[in-house]
Amino acid sequence: MAKATDVIQGTLDLLILKALALNPMHGWGISDHIRRMSGGAFKIGQGSMYPALHRFARLYELTPAGKHALENEIAVWRSYTSAMDLVIQAQ
């Protein structure tokens, strides 16, 4: 087993991304994976791991129900703006 050392500044994101490319994991699982795959050389503490994870953007995707809700909201908005146009254009 290698002697534990700090990771070089700027490489933690790479290590996290590589771990996540293999399997979805929670924070502790990522830290443990990095430790195991480095032969114990890298031990990432919570004080480093969670701020790094916080920097990552989250990806949100509409579900089919969400897409349907969006279509409904657009239809309601268009109906409302059409009615407003009628009032504005009235003479």
Helix, strand, or coil (residue 60): coil
Of 31, 27, 28, nearest in space to 43 by CA: 31
When pLDDT is cut at 50, 70 and 90, the band that residue 6 belongs to is confident
Distance from C-alpha of 16 to C-alpha of 83, rounded to nearest angstrom:
52
pLDDT tier at 79 (50, 70, 90 boundaries)? very high
Find the helix packing angle between 46-55 and 12-22, rounded to 10°: 80
DSSP character string of 71-88: HHHHHHHHHHHHHHHHHH
Q: Find where tokens 């309601």 sit.
A: 76
For range 40-69, the mean pLDDT: 86
Question: Global pTM?
Answer: 0.60
* Residue 50, number of CB atoms within 10 A of its CB: 13
